[in-house]
Structure 1
Amino acid sequence: MTQELKLERKGVFFDVDDTLYDHLSPFRQAVIAIVGEREGFPYEEAYHRMRYYSDKLSLEMGGAGVMENGASTELMRRRRFELSLAEFGIRLSEEQASAMQAAYIGCQFNITMFEGAKELIERLVKTGYVVGLLTNGAENHQLRKIRAMELDHLIPPGRQFISGKVGWDKPDTRVFHHVNEATGTKPENSIYIGDSWRNDVIGAREAGWSVIWFNHRGASPESEEHIPNHIAASYEELAQLLL
């Protein structure tokens, strides 16, 4: 066996939503489009609650694998806006919630990656890392975002893992193990980068991976049980950690 074959493959895997691009922007635009600009409204806090209800309702309805299209998907997407904004004193009718979801989808694929994100991926690929994506969501929905970021030439489809296709949602450790098997990597040589404490920090740590919590919004840790290996607030900081 050659020395090259003996070397362990090291992998770096990225979350997509609010890790590669700013997921708050389409949320803010959708809220303003339906209820207007509200001075002092905590859009970041409301956005985090929307993400919470999105994950919660999706799992209750069977996970991302059954969330591609249909009445249940539309119900979940409408309800996440109703429930999250109600916590901040905005009561939406069904018609308003549906219109807000439509506005959200309408601008969700107009994606601008975080500064330095694509450059870091390029450098990691050139350095020899196995670089991939691991994201929760319905397959076609998430693929549209990946295509909008024009990442196929850097991260081939075989390294783009979407929970709706794989069959398990983060933080289920099985989805992380599946990524290792599919890419020929091992947990101890795998690094995950994501913004969600529940899905990304807990999921990756439980699977035996290292994790960099991409905490660009300055959120507080949600528990003391799982500790990220590192915390980064920008792609400049990520580059310093990884390269």
Structure 2
Amino acid sequence: MDAPRAVILDLDDTLFDDTACTRAGLLALTQRYGLSCDADDLFRRHAAHIHAIDPLLFRGDLDAHGARTLRFTRLLTDLGVFTPDGTAATGIYREAYRAAWALLDGATDVLHTLRRAGVVTAVLTNYVREVQLDKLAHFGLQTLLDAVLCVDDIGCAKPDARAYHAACAALAVAPGQAVMVGDSWEKDVQGARNAGLGAVWVNRGGIPAPDPAVPKVARLADLPAALGLVPA
């Protein structure tokens, strides 16, 4: 891969360990409500409720707190809790979720490396600014980024081509000069390539790639080499 002028990164499960934090929050809920749940099944159910409620959040029908309250009311009802208090459940989840906040290994180092190489960088995320800026500020990552674009900033979400093009415009580069980096094949690789960008897949689980020609990394430390910025 020829070295890009710009690198656009996903946030959750690319730089920030959202999966581990989510599992910590869900575990706290099961303990509080005395539920016996398979952790993986609970994670999938929770993700399904997020998927169903996110359109209301993105349209502005709910704020982030309202979306969480509805999510946990529905999730606990689904798990057999009678008339759950969604606000209380949100508090339990959020306390454990925030206590588990962590960056994925190499996140800060790779942003420093990209900056030293003269590459402009952005985060492009399919979640709302209120939440995502809080994460970035907590770890001081904003100072290492040239732009942050959230779903409520641009009015569309990956894999809509307009999302990637908005990030390119914010960095003053053409799509062909930028590479999207992220853990979702659909949203961070396929969508970006369809929009004219390059892509690198962050594939920590060793999942077979739908297209073996796409560069992939198992850890962020390997990203600069995959981008052609340092010798492999």
Picking from 40, 48, 51, the partner of 1:55 is 51
Q: Distance in 2 between matches of 1:49 and 1:197?
A: 21
Picking from 144, 150, 155, the partner of 2:145 is 155
Q: Distance in 2 between matches of 1:166 and 1:107?
A: 30
Q: Distance in 2 between matches of 1:46 and 1:240?
A: 37
Change (3 A) 1:228 1:209: farther
Q: Distance in 1 between matches of 2:212 and 2:160?
A: 17
> Is residue 41 of structure 1 aligned with residue 35 of structure 2?
no
Q: Distance in 2 between matches of 1:219 and 1:64?
A: 34
Deviations 1:37-72 (A, max 9, x none): 9999343x653553454234313x26265553464x
Two-structure CA RMSD over aligned residues (Å):
3.2
Provide structure 1 residue ranges, at least 5 long, that are not aligned to the other structure.
Answer: 1-7
Q: CA deviation at 1:76?
A: 4.8
Picking from 209, 215, 240, the partner of 2:197 is 209
Whether the 8 Å CA contact 1:109–1:145 is kept in 2: the answer is no
Q: CA deviation at 1:139?
A: 1.4
> Is residue 140 of structure 1 aligned with residue 135 of structure 2?
no
> Is residue 241 of structure 1 aligned with residue 231 of structure 2?
no
Q: Distance in 1 between matches of 2:179 and 2:82?
A: 43
User: In structure 2, what is the equivalent of residue 4 of structure 1?
Assistant: none
Deviations 1:125-162 (A, max 9, x none): 11000111111112111111111121122114xx1111
Q: CA deviation at 1:34?
A: 2.1
Deviations 1:73-106 (A, max 9, x none): 24553367459xx6xxx44555276544333322
Scaled by the length of structure 1, the TM-score of the pair is: 0.76
> Is residue 198 of structure 1 aligned with residue 182 of structure 2?
no
Change (3 A) 1:42 1:230: farther
Scaled by the length of structure 2, the TM-score of the pair is: 0.79
Task: Give 3-state SS (helix, strand or coil) of 1:153's partner.
Answer: helix
Whether the 8 Å CA contact 1:14–1:133 is kept in 2: the answer is yes
Whether the 8 Å CA contact 2:69–2:90 is kept in 1: the answer is no
User: In structure 2, what is the equivalent of residue 23 of structure 1?
Assistant: 18
User: In structure 1, what is the equivalent of residue 93 of structure 2?
Assistant: 104
Instruction: Give the number of aligned pairs.
Output: 223
Q: CA deviation at 1:24?
A: 1.7
User: In structure 2, what is the equivalent of residue 164 of structure 1?
Assistant: 152
Q: Distance in 1 between matches of 2:16 and 2:7?
A: 17
The more displaced of 168-177 and 30-39 is 30-39
